[in-house]
Structures are given as structure tokens and as C-alpha cells.
Structure 1
Amino acid sequence: MQQVEFDDPLCSQTTLNGLVYDWSYQFLTPDEIKSFAKKRLPVHFKQARDALLTGTYSNPSENREVTHVLSRSRHSVLREGDKSKFAKIVRKLRSGKWLGATGKPITDIVNIGVGGSDLGPLMASFALREFATDIHEHHVYTHFVSSMDGGQLYAVLPICDPETTLFIVASKSFGTIDTFANVDTAREWMLEAFEPLGLDASDWFEHHIIGVSANAKKMDAYGIPAPNQLVFPESIGGRFSLWSAIGLSIATTCGVQVFQQMLEGARLMDEHFASAPVDENIPMLMALIGVYNREEREINNLAILPYDGRFRMLPSYLQQLDMESNGKQFSYTNQTIDRPTGPIVWGGFGPNGQHAFFQHLHQGYDQFTADFVLVLHRTDKRFSKRVQTALAEQQRLAVANCLAHRRLMAFGSQSDTPSEHYPGGHPTSLLALRELTPESFGAIVAAYEHKIFVQGLIWGLNSFDQPGVEQGKKVALDTFRALHGESLSFDPSTDAIIKMV
């Protein structure tokens, strides 16, 4: 692996509406970036980019177009404004006018989904909940359940009341086994409470469940009434779907206005991606630098290190977005690829990481690259001036630690004493927001989406399918049948564990 040696860097920054992308510590000049772009971008790049942004880009393996970008523009779930079905459902829930089967207002919403139907809505709801437009006295609390083992239901159900709880079943296919393992348990929990009251499954379906899917027929077959269904196009991939009706839980947490602002921030990033020159284009720079680090510097992993607690879900979200899209060794024409493609993406909340894995980053053997994510200023008028001052000082502490660790990773600290020697030589980027807003949040997520798309084009991948995931599900079904007594044999280790269950 090539060890990177850094001289004093240029100040290389690109800005867009309060978002600063600083790639100074990548130690590449604008001319080197443009030269690398000329070398690695495919000849059809502009055509492909235009197709993505207009919703006509082809996903060949699934024989459909890719239209998630349109969900924040002309195909938005809010395209009819407050009159849209999406907005009406949100306002009914957040105003206390959605009543459960016994006439009590809904107070708790449980989003049941997995993958893109969980990670995106969970991340955005957590990051933006302080911006909630609480125009009504009634409050709803949103919870998220994804794990097939029921572990999250164990935590959520005891703190909810069946009479005032509504479940959002978020599933593109409306058949994901992980999701419906949780739905079936939730149904039993509800019916157990309902039956002594003379209520049944029809009351559950009418008052306590909303389906969000690309498959209306399956929602019909399951029994969800049409007024309780939100449908989004098949052409929106699950991990790109938080902008669509899958974002219902974001809107129930934060309000329609905040959801719309998030979409607007993403749309502005789309326009920037479409028009900015390569050395000033944030997604393009992120993509090209990532490919350069993967191919020229032979770095196989990218750490996501947010220094603001509201972004603490970002590493998990980007792990799926990137690794499920570009973790492949076959081309979009289904030919074998024998060179590196997408990196391993991992990370964690930076201030906590300093007390955990940063030791390895600073003095371990392995090379890595990292994206630091930082919010420079934070104000919250819910607190007194005195408390706001204390919180602002904490924000400065986070900024100082982020910038210090970023410098130490790049330049190191030389010493003849091994325990005091920091090798440095790790290229990193910084995404700094002047303030976190719904708009800037939407912009940063859209930038990562476009980065992954560009890298997929460079490596000749179809970034919009995930056959490895599907094959794993098929193998799991066979194993599940064996656990229910079918005479199936796998290997001595697996067979031995099955006998223990």
C-alpha cells in the first residue's frame, strides 16, 4: 500500500448554501482533479448524469428507470401541497384528529421497516426533530423497529398503549420477511388488547395501520384500506427512498414544512451537481477523490466521522447507501470485474470514537481515508440565554476536537518515542455546515447519493440493484424451513446449530 506523504496543503474548498466541502487534506490540486476526471470519467458521463436528473436513467437488471431524484421535484409526494394525501395524513396525525378504534387520539407511531425503509427515515427524524413545527398542542412520538429478532419491539411495545398506537408498515415490496415478522407480532399485541373490548382485526386495519409501498396490490391483499395506503413508484430504490412516501415517519416527527425543506435542500444539490464545473462540484469531487484513494492510493475503507450528535446515524445510513450500491464485482452488463470497486464504509460518532477506535486510526497499522462532518454553529431558542451560551461553548469544543484530530490524521506528530509517535499520512475530507437546517441536511444526503452514482459509472457498475442481498434471503428461507422440521442438510456446523434450536 502506498504511504501518503503530505506537504503543506492548499486551502481547497467548495461551498453551496452554507455547506462547505473542504478537500484540502486530500492533497490534490484542482488541476490534478481535472486530469483524473478526464482519465476516469466515462465518455457518456454527461448523458448519464442528465438521465439520472430527469428520471430516465436505466436500471438494466431490474428493467426500470431510476427516479428517486424526481421525488424531490416534480414527482414529490407534496406536489399538491397541503392537499396531497401524504400531507393530509401527516396533519391528521399531528393534530390529534386521527383516532384509534376506541376514539382516543394516536399518540405513538411505530415505523416498521428495514434497510432503506428504516435507516433513512430514522436518520432524518433523529437529525431534524428539533425543527418540528409544533403548531398544535397534541404531540405524537415516533419509534423505529427493524430487527427481525424482535429486539426493538421488546423495547417499544411496553411503552406504548395499543389504543393510541399506529403502525407504519414501510416496505417497497410489501413482502420483506424481516418487516413482516415484526408486523405479525405487532398485530398479535394489538388484537390481544382489542378482543376483550369487542374489537377485531378490521378495527386494527382501519384505525391503527398505514401501509407505504410500491406494491398496492399486496397492501390490498393484506387488508390495508385504500385511505391508509401511500404508494410510491417501483423506480425508486429502497435506499434512495427517504424523499418519497417512505419519509412519512420523518414528516410525522417533524412536520410537513420541515419535510418540504429537506426536499428543497436536496433539489438545490441536484442543480449544483448538474451545472457546477468538476473542480467546484461537491458530489463530483467526493466521487473522484474516493476513486483516487481507492485506486491510486490503494485505500480500501472510508470512515464517516460526524462531530454533531444529530448526525450520529449518518455512518449506518451511508454504509448501506454505498456498500449495497457499489459493493460488486460484476459490471452493469453482468461481466466479471477483477479490480477494486466500492470501499468498506464504516464509522461512528466522532466524540465517542475518540475514546474507542481513534487509537487505531492514529497509531494503528492500517491506512484509511475519512469524511469528517461538522456543524460550526448551533442555536436553540427553547433554552435561556444562559443555557444557550453553555451549549454554544460545547459546540466550539466539538469543532476544536474535529479540526485537531483531522490535522493529526493528516500530518501526524513525530517523536523518537514509539508511544508518542503519530505517523499521519491519512487523507481526509471535511463537510462543514454553518448550521444544520432541514435544507442543509437534504443537501448533504443528496451529495452522497450523487457521489455513489458517479463512482458506479466510473467502475462500470449498476448502482441500483443488490442481487447479493436477494440471494442471502433465499438461503435464509431454506434454513428457516429446516428450523421448522423439514429434512434439509447444509454443513456439519449449521446442522449442529439447527439441532440446538
Structure 2
Amino acid sequence: MPRKELLPLQQVTLNGLIFDWSYQFLSPEKITAFAAKRLPANFNEQRAALMQGTFKNISENRKVTHVLSRSSHSPFRNGDDSRFVQMVRRLRSGNWLGATGKPITDIVNIGVGGSDLGPLMTSFALKEFASDVQQHQVNTHFVSSMDGGQLYAVLPIVNPETTVFIIASKSFGTLDTFANVDTAKIWALEHFTGQNKLSPDQAEHGWLEHHLIGVSASPQKMTDYGIPPAHQLTFDQSVGGRFSMWSTIGLAIATSCGVEVFRRLQQGAAEMDRHFAEAPLTENIPLLMALCGVYNREEREINNLAVLPYDGRFRHLPSYLQQLDMESNGKQCTASGEAIDTPTGPIIWGGFGPNGQHAFFQHLHQGYDAFCADFIVVLHRKAKQFSPAVQASLAEQQELSVANCLAHRHLMTYGSESEQARNHYPGNNPNNLLALVHLTPESFGAIIAAYEHKVFTQGLIWQLNSFDQPGVELGKKVAEGTLAAIHNKNGHFDASTDSIIGLTRDI
């Protein structure tokens, strides 16, 4: 039955971010009691270790230090003499020249997973805040898919003589990434040896010296590939890939938006770090997100969370959170390797809310399956680059989006007893609202950091190691064997797989 009683207001506000958990059907007293039952006894010590960069990733025998990447001691937060800052300003000023002496106009970030999703999401969201005075236009593109589909779309619109490729790879050996790098290299060298009439050696030298930047935790592999040390950026092995956008992996964010925007992003995340470390339970945004999520997973047996942003700048957030959450906590063994036979991390899915209303929201309102949801909305948007009339019209569109967000969230919570479809809108779906008064680099950084700390807390509750990905690694090994079988035209797996491998011979 739809709910008739109105739920009391439950909100936490931090620097223009409003976290509203009123629709979780949980009181502060109930969530406090649940925390006492489910938070580990040493939670405060574990949380402090994360903040200090001493928390241990047991299976890989590494510390977990991504929080330090955005701390006040980070080299990106202070001074202009770091190689990272110098690279960005050289590229954005037009002072980086390609092999034929032309200024770089395009940057292609080649990475996958954490080396792609975070930079792509953030560059898209914060592009309008680019603060560097930029007389020179630089466009940043993102390529990740191993099938070459994205590269197929990018190569025709960029010039080999004016394009720099960022090879972003923690291991500097990811098969997906280097499949794209190899193709990009063939494309560039063909141009240099053809149109520019360079010798193969000259073309190779020009490609390595002028058109590549390496970002990795494996500096020796970058050197072995031939990338000059001056064009290498490193980060620690202790920074997990899906937590790495705050490190040098964020180079593409800075080339898209400028150094100052990148610093503001880190500052907002650092403010959320302090909030997570210091705020009491019922005023602590990441803790409340984590505990509500665990309650829904365990007590209500809801296995999925829909991420529904109602601002186009958050369009890539659902994909980013899929990796952050599902690769961290989608596990059935504890950090010490013991099997688990109870629910852990939920399925994360979702999409851009205004478009989802015309697609999957029908199922959310009247379908059979239970779900949880996180709604994200921006209440106001400035558009100073437009005329007053256009600004006013855009403000009305923002209000339309806010109204739809609040309406659908309300209906998913309370349901409806309309005469046209009596009792077919059951409601009772727990959800959060993360509302920003304005989107800024700081508030964007705060939201992403809040989700990171939510995942960390839930991992502790479920006794998981949220900082490894054994299933992903095993899948890579199996894929290597399958690729070898395709190359050898020789399958020895199962009838279905062998059949498809056999079909590759007939092309």
C-alpha cells in the first residue's frame, strides 16, 4: 500500500551540499542502533588509518593512500613547480610543439577503468569552470574500449602533428590500453612517413619525443617504452586505480579544465575527508550513506541501487560509481580469504534522470522489483556567458529538472492511489537526495569523496578488502588464453566457445 504518513525531515548540509535521507524510512535513533550493531569495534581506528594513508590492502600488501593525493601536503595543491603543473600549462598555452613544430591542439587520454572513468566524468562535469586564461584552444578526448570503436571515432577528427596521447595505465601493461596505443602509433607513423616524408626512425623518434605522455605507477615500463623522463608522471602503487583521479591520473582533468579547477576539486574532496573523519554519526554524510545502504541490503534484502542524476553534468556518474562500488565490494570472500554466504555490495546501475523518465522509470514506478535510489540534483545554475534572456530561459529549464526530480522521488517513496491505476504505484522505495545549491569543482569533489568513504565503510562492515579486484585479474588471465586460442585457430574450452573461435578462421 502507498504510504499515507509524511516522513520527518532528515538532512545534513556541508558547504552547499545537502544530503537528504528523509526517504530512507529510518530515524536517527534506529540508524544509531544499527550502527552500534554493524560497525566494527575498531572502526574509528580504521577510519583514522585511511585518513593517514596507513590503512592496509592486505591481499596486495600495500597501504591505501589515495586520500593523501588530495591532502594539503599533495604536490598538486601547492606551488607551480611540479612536472604535472608545468605540463598542463605548457599544453594549455600552446607552447607544447609537435614533431613538425606545430602547437598541440588535441589531447587523447588512452586508459581504461580508473584511468578513464574518473577523468572522463570530471572533465565533462567541470569543463565550464575552466579558469586558466587560455588563448590557445586544446580539446581533450577519451579512448578506452579495446575494440577500437572510440579510437575509430577520434582519429578522423584530430591531426597527428598536433595531437598528444596520454597513456594512462597504473601497470603500464593493460592489454585494452595498449591495443589502442598500438593502433594510434601506426596511424601517426603512417602520417609522418607519408605526408611529412620522415624516415621510419625519424617518425618513431618524433612520436616518442613530442606526442606521448605516460602516467603510471611503473616508471621503468614507461622508460622501456621510450617515453622521455620529462614526459612521465608517476603515482604510488598504493593508490588504487578506481581511486586515482586525484593523482597524476587526473592529468586529463587538468588539461580540460585547468590546474586551478583541479586544485579546487581536490580541496572539495579534502573537505569531505575532514567531515568523514570528524562529524558525529547522524551528521556524517558518508557514514549515513553507508549505513542506509547496508540496512537496505541486509534488512530489506534490496540488491540494487539506481543512481539518478538530474543534471547533465553528472551524466557519467552512474558508470563511475559502478566501478567504484562493484569492483570494491562485489565480493564473496573476506579480506582474510574466508568464504561469505551473505549479501555484500549491491548492483549499481542508473542513468541520466530526465532521459530515464522516458525509459526505465516506468519499471521503477510500477514494476515488480524493489530498488533503492540516489537522486542527484543541482538547484541553481549560472550561465553568465549567455545573454540575460538566454540565462533566464536556462534557469527555467533548471527549475523544470528540479521539479521532475522531486516529483519522481516523491512518487517512488509515497506511491499513489489514483483512480486510473489504483494501488499500482506502491511506492516504499528507500532513496537519498544529494542536492547542490550550485555545482562547483569543490562540491563535485565532495560528492565523489563521499561515495568513496561510503564504499570504504561498507567494505569494513562486510569484512571485505575494498582495494583489490581478484575477479577482474582472473578474467584478464582467462582472456589471454582465449586470445592465444584465436591466434592459433585452436579452441579447447567448451562447445560454444570453441565454435565461435572456429568462426574467426573463416574471415
Q: Would you say same fold, with TM above 0.5?
A: yes
Code of the residue aligned with 2:99 in structure 1: it is A
Code of the residue aligned with 1:10 in structure 2: it is P
Gaps of 5+ in 2: none
Alignment pair present for 1:56 and 2:59: no
- 1:224-263 mapped onto 2 (5 Å cutoff): 224-263=227-266
Residue 434 of structure 1 aligns to a residue whose secondary structure is strand
**Partner of residue 94 from structure 1, selected from 92, 95, 102:** 92
- Distance in 2 (CA, whole Å) between partners of 1:62 and 1:134 is 39
Distance 1:415 1:80, change over 3 A: closer
Question: Which residue does 1:408 correspond to in 2?
Answer: 411
Does the aligned pair in 2 maintain the 1:61–1:465 contact within 8 Å?
A: yes
- Distance in 2 (CA, whole Å) between partners of 1:388 and 1:195 is 50
Residue 425 of structure 1 aligns to a residue whose secondary structure is coil
**Partner of residue 173 from structure 1, selected from 160, 171, 189:** 171
Deviation for aligned residue 1:77: 4.0
Once the two structures are aligned, what percentage of the paired residues are identical? Answer: 68
Cα deviation code 1:54-110 (max 9, x no counterpart): 000000000000000000014524155211110000000000000000000000000
- Distance in 2 (CA, whole Å) between partners of 1:261 and 1:296 is 39
**Partner of residue 105 from structure 2, selected from 104, 107, 131:** 107
Alignment pair present for 1:66 and 2:64: yes
- Distance in 1 (CA, whole Å) between partners of 2:350 and 2:163 is 34
Alignment pair present for 1:398 and 2:401: yes
Deviation for aligned residue 1:142: 0.2
Distance 1:470 1:75, change over 3 A: farther
Does the aligned pair in 2 maintain the 1:4–1:297 contact within 8 Å?
A: no
Deviation for aligned residue 1:414: 1.1
Deviation for aligned residue 1:246: 0.1
Deviation for aligned residue 1:485: 1.2
Question: Which residue does 2:37 correspond to in 1?
Answer: 39
Cα deviation code 1:135-180 (max 9, x no counterpart): 0210100000000000001100000000000000000000000000
TM-score (norm 2): 0.97
- 1:256-271 mapped onto 2 (5 Å cutoff): 256-271=259-274
Alignment pair present for 1:124 and 2:122: yes
- Distance in 2 (CA, whole Å) between partners of 1:129 and 1:52 is 30
- Distance in 2 (CA, whole Å) between partners of 1:161 and 1:260 is 30
TM-score (norm 1): 0.98
Cα deviation code 1:332-389 (max 9, x no counterpart): 0000001000000000000000000000000000000000000000002111111000
Does the aligned pair in 1 maintain the 2:305–2:373 contact within 8 Å?
A: yes
- Distance in 1 (CA, whole Å) between partners of 2:264 and 2:387 is 27
Code of the residue aligned with 2:494 in structure 1: it is D
Cα deviation code 1:199-227 (max 9, x no counterpart): 31111011000000000011011111100
- Distance in 2 (CA, whole Å) between partners of 1:75 and 1:247 is 17
Code of the residue aligned with 1:290 in structure 2: it is G
Does the aligned pair in 2 maintain the 1:6–1:410 contact within 8 Å?
A: no
Deviation for aligned residue 1:27: 1.3
Deviation for aligned residue 1:423: 1.0
Question: Which residue does 1:303 correspond to in 2?
Answer: 306
- Distance in 2 (CA, whole Å) between partners of 1:415 and 1:207 is 65
Gaps of 5+ in 1: none
- Distance in 2 (CA, whole Å) between partners of 1:39 and 1:78 is 40
- Distance in 1 (CA, whole Å) between partners of 2:2 and 2:212 is 54
Alignment pair present for 1:345 and 2:348: yes
Does the aligned pair in 1 maintain the 2:219–2:234 contact within 8 Å?
A: yes
Question: Which residue does 1:276 correspond to in 2?
Answer: 279
* Greater mean alpha carbon deviation, residues 449-458 or residues 28-37: 28-37
Code of the residue aligned with 1:464 in structure 2: it is F
Distance 1:358 1:456, change over 3 A: same
- Distance in 1 (CA, whole Å) between partners of 2:31 and 2:47 is 19
- Distance in 2 (CA, whole Å) between partners of 1:272 and 1:443 is 10
